[in-house]
Structure formats: C-alpha cells, structure tokens
Amino acid sequence: MAPLPRDQRSIDEDHLNLLSIFHFVSAGLALLGIMFLMLHFALMHFMFTNPAMWQNQKGGPPPAQFFIIFIFIYVAGGIWLMASAILNVMSGLFLHARKYRTFSLIIAGINCVHVPLGTVLGVFTIIVLVREPVRQLYEAPG
C-alpha cells in the first residue's frame, strides 16, 4: 500500500519547523564553542604565566606580547561565537513565527562560514526559503 501524498504546505511547514530547531541547535553549539574557548584560554594562560613550565627550557618563556596576541584572538572568537548564537536564536524564532524571511536568509549565508554543520544548515535554509510556496507562507496573514 503506497503512502498517502501530503500537501506541499504541510511539508513546507515541517521543513521550516525543522530549520527552526536546527538554528537553536546551532546556537547551542556556538555556546559550547565559547566554553571550549574559555577552557583553552585558561590552559594557555596557565602555560604562559607559570614560571615552573619554563625553568628547564633553554630559551625561557615567550615574550608577554605573544600571549597578548592570543588574547585578541580569544576575544574576537568569543564575539563571533556569541553573535552567532544570538543571531541563530533570533533566526530560529523568526522561522518558527514565519517572520523576517530576509533576516533568516542573511543568517543562513553567515552560517555557511561555520564548516561543516553550519554550511549544511545554511545551504538547506537557503534552499527552503527561496521556494515560492514558502515565500507565500511568509506573506500569508496570520
């Protein structure tokens, strides 16, 4: 017995609901990345500032400016991940509410930078949001 065909509108709504969930998951992964970044910072800070780590080395510890470069990288990475988390939560909410389609398309493009999972999420979000029936879902009142 063949399965009953589903109407395109319910398929599109299911796709949008799944994309909404995956945007929340992506935000969670970004927050997990921030925790990893903080752990990595603590480890590097311990290594660079602990004199016992460098007492048997011929060259001694690296200059203090070397760790300052790392701090800038940590701050930039933290800002990027926090912005990604916030924007993905917003996009997930907007996808669920069927609002601000253009915003979700922009966030999908930004997600493509987050290789490999963000790329998959971004590409599928773009594919779903550019379909004409989905565009009509966004334009429909209520």
> Which residue, 71, 65, 60, 84, is CA-closest to 37?
71
Rounded to two decimals, what is the model's pTM? 0.86
* pLDDT in the model for residue 25: 98
Extract the residue ranges of the chain whose pLDDT is less than 50.
Answer: 4
* pLDDT in the model for residue 2: 52
Interval 60-101: pLDDT, tens: 667 777 888 889 999 999 999 999 999 999 999 999 999 999
* pLDDT in the model for residue 4: 46
User: 55 Cβ partners below 8 Å, 6+ apart?
Assistant: none
Do residues 30 and 52 lie in contact, with contact meaning Cβ atoms separated by under 8 Å? no
Residue with tokens 């029936």: 133
